[in-house]
Structure 1
Amino acid sequence: MRTGSEPTTARSALRMRFWLSLWGLVWATLGVVLFSLVGRPGWAAACGVLWLVISADMAVIVRRIRQGAHWQPGRDVPPYPPPDRRR
């Protein structure tokens, strides 16, 4: 059910973001290795920069997951209540 308050009560699927980042990290690593072996330093550098961005994103994701249920709610944490519309 949509309440209209999604921007203020939105939750991020951190576990899904973690696994997608891990998938991207694997591909970026393979890109660096393979482009280096083939002799394409520009593409290898681009994959290296992408690897750095993905690594920073994964650090943020892991930090937020470790912060606990407030930041990464589980099945036992109820959703936020809808905003009060009586104003």
Structure 2
Amino acid sequence: MLQHRAGEQGQPIPLRSDRFYKLGDEWYFQIRGGACFGPFACRSEAARTARLFFCPPRDSSGNPTGAVIHPFGSRPAKQRQKNHNL
């Protein structure tokens, strides 16, 4: 279901594309501004990671916990992929 975002009330809802897409056998997700995250083995893995990106788990003090998610093509992401393929 399409909904208005903040600042859009009173205007037609603009066309929005799906956040998730597949290239070959790998899934990715994209955020506003164009940064892409992936590759993921399946859409559900990409969706789970997107949820963690937008709503990271927090400790009792409100500080984010867990892994940092880096955009596809960033230096940390390339290094992680290189280490994973060893």
Please give the range of the TM-score, normalised by the shorter of the 2 chains: under 0.3
User: Whose RCO is larger (CA < 8 A, sep 6+)?
Assistant: 1
Greater strand share, 1 or 2? 2
Greater helix share, 1 or 2? 1
TM-score using structure 1 length? 0.22
TM-score using structure 2 length? 0.23
- Whose radius of gyration is greater, 1 or 2? 1
